[in-house]
Structure 1
Amino acid sequence: MGKHVRTADGRLLLAEEWGNPAGTPVLLLHGTPGSRLGTALPDLPERRPDLRFFAYDRPGYGGSDRHPGRRVADAAQDAAAVADALGVDRFAVVGRSGGAPHALACAALLPERVPAAAALVSIAPRDAAGLDWFGGMTPFNVREFGLAAEAPELLDADLATRAAAIREDPERLVEDLRAELSDHDLPIVSDPAVRATLLRTYREALGTTHHGWTDDSLAFTRPWGFDVSAITTPVLLWHGLDDAFSPPDHTRWLAATIPNATLELVPDAGHFAAQYALPSVLDRLLR
């Protein structure tokens, strides 16, 4: 059912917790579009019974109020508000895909509370020096991020139409993705557990509005609100080398820029392989 958490500025965030109540706390940050229900596969608590997991819908998704004009950096205070409401002091953070930049925000801005963070299949800041930001990216993401930077009102209209179609048939987005998936991603998206998790999170994320999707895209293409080179928390960066949604060069750039970063590039793995990688990432992150 989830728990509503009120932020300092009066917004409501819908949070969820599961796993071992006495375990080591780990915040999981969902992708784009996504919700708290799509952060991990169902067997994760069985594989890691020592951990207490929690997650929340980013503003504008699922049961969380919109935060117009939000920056990537704003995720740190939202994460802190959720942790406070759940009685959690220190916590590791793992973000996948669209959640990964927000995990880096927590590492950068909550160093006293976040002892370790992982960013799986992340993108880099739009102004990353020396990075061909659109290089190797799927046509849909090139269009979406291009509109975010140049024509936000067209982006919003486009995502409103897509979200309405997905609301009627959540499988629509999974099927639309198939055309841009790599050969390594196709069998993963066909895995019943992965497919069910994707459908569940898309249904929840876009059940009432598309605003979270729009605001994520805008936040990614604008200044993030923190300097990744100033992160002092140890960060694990994971990326499949056959990823065209978030090209691996983005994570290579992050690894060269974040002082305490550990880089893991995985051959024969695409974007959705991060779903399978989470247990091993947690092993290394919490070691």
Structure 2
Amino acid sequence: MGIDQRTSSHGETEGVRHSGRYAPRMSETHDVVTADGRILRVHDSGELPAGAGTVVWHTGSPQTGALLTPVLEACAARGLRLVSYGRPGYGGSTANLRRNVASAAPDVEAIVDALGIRHFFSVGASGGGPHALACAALLPDRVTGVATLAGIAPFTDEYDWFAGMQAPSALRAALVSPEAREEFAKVDDFDPECFLPVDYDTLREEWASLGEDSGRAGAAGSRGLIDDDVAFVAPWGFDLGRVTAPAIVAQGGLDRVVPASHGIWLHDHVPGSEFWERPDAGHISILRLLPEVLDRLVEWA
């Protein structure tokens, strides 16, 4: 495994290797090569003088993995280093066909090893939530706290998993087969009713970079999104009961993409987790809780 250094669009400088460790001077974009030869496109804010720790941010679906302004600002304000990456099939990362949710753990381990990071907070939004939990369950010696915001729960028949979803057709197709999900991608279109007015306000204001990045990811193709959906409805490859790090499950009560029932289920199955429900929040507006979530993680650490 190793790093192929690249220059990003906002003037980052090159990093320096010391004894096999990679020490970034400024925010950088670079490639990490996995043991099986895949490329993971990584975005790194670089270490800050405060040195409060590192956040590995697991993006929603679809996203390129680029650093989002509100996440970067929230981390910087707390002296936290921010690392994000394109999941396989997104943002320059090599597709990993038939990956499951658990596949995120060895990928993230390769990234933090390459960057010389020992411990980190694992935080995910929406489709990133399951992958954040995978790291907490499968890398327990490295994850010091985990949080999901509007994170989807594993598929189960313990309750009506699709109830409350405005547009569940993509996930229903994924449940039939990967091939059915690929066929659905040919006609898939975003339903604007998935978001509440407060979600659109959030996208126009502090989380505008999320909408812009999602547009870039969608324009690049549907491979990553298809593989995410197939992974969500298939067995995840790990037991949530193995999460031992302090955990937060944050959920909007009016979410039409990932209904509140998913957050409740996750809270019930992630040991010792705190449930942060905001009854009037939707799928995007719940992200406004991120600064408070990071404060809580730092407090625990």
- The alpha-carbon deviation at position 229 of structure 1 amounts to 2.1
- Counterparts of 1:20-169 in structure 2, within 5 Å, are 20-22=47-49, 23=51, 24-37=53-66, 39-41=68-70, 44=73, 48-127=77-156, 130-138=158-166, 140=167, 142-160=168-186
Larger relative CO (CA 8 A, sep 6+): 1 or 2? 1
TM superposition shift of 1:284: 0.9
Q: 1:115 to 1:196 in 2, by over 3 A?
A: closer
Following the alignment from structure 2 to structure 1, what is the Cα–Cα distance between the partners of residues 296 and 219? 35
Change (3 A) 1:212 1:29: same
How many residues are treated as equivalent by the alignment? Answer: 270
**2:290 pairs with 1:274:** no
The answer to whether the 8 A contact 2:55-2:75 is kept is no
- The amino acid that maps onto 2:65 is R
- The TM-score normalised by the length of structure 2 is 0.84
Structure 2 spans left out of the alignment, 5+ residues: 1-7, 9-28
The percentage of counterpart residues that share the same residue type is 37
- Partner amino acid, structure 2, of 1:15: V
Q: Relative to structure 1, is the Cα distance of residues 276 and 97 closer, same or farther in structure 2, using a 3 angstrom cutoff?
A: same
Q: Secondary structure at the match of 2:124?
A: strand
Match of 1:190 in 2: 204
In structure 2, relative to structure 1, the CA distance for the partners of 1:261 and 1:190 (3 Å cut) is same
CA displacement, residues 113-153 of structure 1 (integer Å, 9 cap, x when unaligned): 001100111111112x5221011111x2x101000011432
The answer (yes or no) to whether the contact 1:19–1:51 under 8 Å persists in 2 is no
Give the gaps of 5 or more residues in structure 1.
Answer: 163-172
Classify the secondary structure of the residue corresponding to 1:31.
coil
Which residue does the alignment assign to 1:8? 35
CA separation of 1:85/1:207 partners in 2, compared to 1, >3 Å: closer, same or farther?
farther
1:211 alignment counterpart? 223
Conserved in 2, the CA contact under 8 Å of 1:92 and 1:116? yes
Q: How does 1:169-180 map to 2 (within 5 A)?
A: 176-180=190-194
Verify the 8 A CA contact 2:278 2:286 in the aligned structure 1. no
Structure 1's 160 and 25: CA in aligned 2 closer, same or farther, altered over 3 A? Answer: farther
Structure with more of its chain in helix, by fraction: 1
Aligned pairs for 1:254-273 (under 5 A) are 254-273=266-285
Q: CA deviation at 1:48?
A: 1.8
Instruction: Give secondary structure in 2 for the equivalent of 1:179.
Output: helix
CA offset digits 1:33-81 (Å, max 9, x no partner)? 1121265526615762411000100000011000011000010111111
Amino acid at match of 1:60: G
Change (3 A) 1:157 1:202: same
- Residue of structure 1 equivalent to 2:215: 202
Q: Indicate conservation of the 8 Å contact 2:62/2:225, yes or no.
A: yes
C-alpha RMSD over aligned residues: 2.0
Under a length normalisation based on structure 1, what TM-score does the superposition of the two structures give? 0.88
Q: Residue 245 of structure 2 corresponds to which residue in structure 1?
A: 233
Larger CA deviation: 262-271 vs 47-56: 47-56
Tell me if the contact between 1:159 and 1:213 (Cα under 8 Å) persists in the aligned partners. no
Measured in 1, the distance between the counterparts of 2:242 and 2:171 equals 25
Maintained 8 Å contact 1:14/1:56: yes
Counterpart secondary structure, 2:127: helix
Structure 1's 38 and 201: CA in aligned 2 closer, same or farther, altered over 3 A?
farther
